[in-house]
Structure 1
Amino acid sequence: MATVHRLNAPGKTSSSMSDCSHQITELDIAVSFVSQYLIHESLIGKIKSCSRASTTTHRKGSWMRHGIKVASAAVLAGLIVATTATPAAADLWPFDGIPPDKSTHSYCYTSSVTTGLKSYIPGAMNYLDSATNIPGVPFHSPCETTNSETDGTPATDVAWFEVWVTDAYGEVECKVRTASNPNVCDQNHTRINSSMIKTSSNAHQQYIKTVCHELGHTTGLNHYGPLLSPPEPPGAFGQPQDCMASGDVTRIGDVTGTWTHTYNPHHIGHINPHWA
């Protein structure tokens, strides 16, 4: 996983607040579930209207609050139906706003990478090559660390590191931009935290998922949180789990399943158009 994103639990207000404020709090809780799937801003307007209504006289405020309560509930219900009925691309691509270059997706090992980690990387690279439109995943040795402006050749796309990462199994960071376009990534530093992986209950499967996961980030894929409450979908509704899931592999699903080392159709649908 690159930067770890956390969803804060919705706050609760005091029960001594007005009926209108209490209804907003309930809606807020519901919105915290639905908002991550691109809820329309009209609901915000309903909540603001409710807030204004609470400043009127008690008698007038009562019927206004009731009407707003019904309208807000209807809007929310309609949005939930629309969201669940029509699967949508809820995630961002590229996840960090920096797309990779469109050439081959080459890779290399820095001196920090041990023999143990090296045993997991080629399989993930070969799968990426076979499952997508990427025109090859050549291995570079040593790592090319500068863009073409410096020496005429582009940097290696994926430079693997085996280093400590705070509170994460791994992370990806674009460290070299292309010479022709500073908004395009020429090289990602892909860091694997073996120290943390080795403490997991199934280190072998955690290595498999983490390498696939961080490699996915180098192609621009975003991660999702199946262990959050409520859980995030695998990129879009109706998609199967895949290695872009964040968290402990043993808590997400069957560790022997193919999801630990593959990308689902939605995520491949992000990669292929870029390299088409």
Structure 2
Amino acid sequence: MELLSRIFKVLGELAHLARTLFTVGMHFMSLCARSRTALAAENLFLRKQLAFYQERKVIPRRFDNVTRFILVLLSRVFAWKDALVNVTPKTFIGWHRAGFRLFWRWKLRPGRPPIPLELRALIREMSRDNPGWGEGRIANELLLKLGIQISPRTVRKYTPKRPQGQPRGDQRWSTLVANHAKVIVACDFLTVVTATFKCLYVFVIIEVGTRKLLHIHVTGHPTASWTQQQLREAISSEHSYRFLIHDRDCIFSSQLDQSITRMGLRVLRRLIGVPRLTASVSVS
């Protein structure tokens, strides 16, 4: 009986050893199938936590913001949940959300400071005394005669608005679009920020009259030639459109506009202050 018990004990230990070796072998094979970047990121992720654990034995403290940022970046390369030891997954996800909040706070930071009150009054006076002057003319007059450099957009911001009820002297942009909506296509770029804070550009082409989505493509580095190729793929040579609307972004160069004209389309550059195409895309 004693001999049998020893035999069963040895067999149990051998079975446990076989199961352990099989588990370790499968884990090793899965690691071999992973990329070197993921393995290096996981190794550094674990080393950072080990270093923090050893430092915490000497001086009790929490993760600083720099270490949190590094761990969040490393976690984007591999499955981090099994490698997280020092904090809970809920806390770690909170760090990631805090990083997104900081990123968008930086993106939405205030722009230029407001101009002095005296200059605002001067812009209003020049606009009232010279009804035929636009914001560009007023900005040039300020630069040439007073040496004050100011953007036409800033001039438009402080120019007196048309009194309510007074008819416009020109055709509204919305009227133009409504009259020719069926033969107008519009294109624009949307920006999307990934989980790794990488900015991607989404190029969208829609039919204005029906809000039909004609084309959509994503790239990390948009160029004029890339945009031209997308337009060729979206709009066939036998199209019935007459106009194409785009904004005044530098990517829509004169060469690109010439190629659009050769496609049989008249380019309409969107006026400053006109609602963005992205609003139409979100509605559709």
Shorter chain as denominator, the TM-score bin is under 0.3
Q: Give TM-score scaled by structure 2 length.
A: 0.25
Relative CO higher for 1 or 2, CA cutoff 8 Å, sep ≥ 6?
1
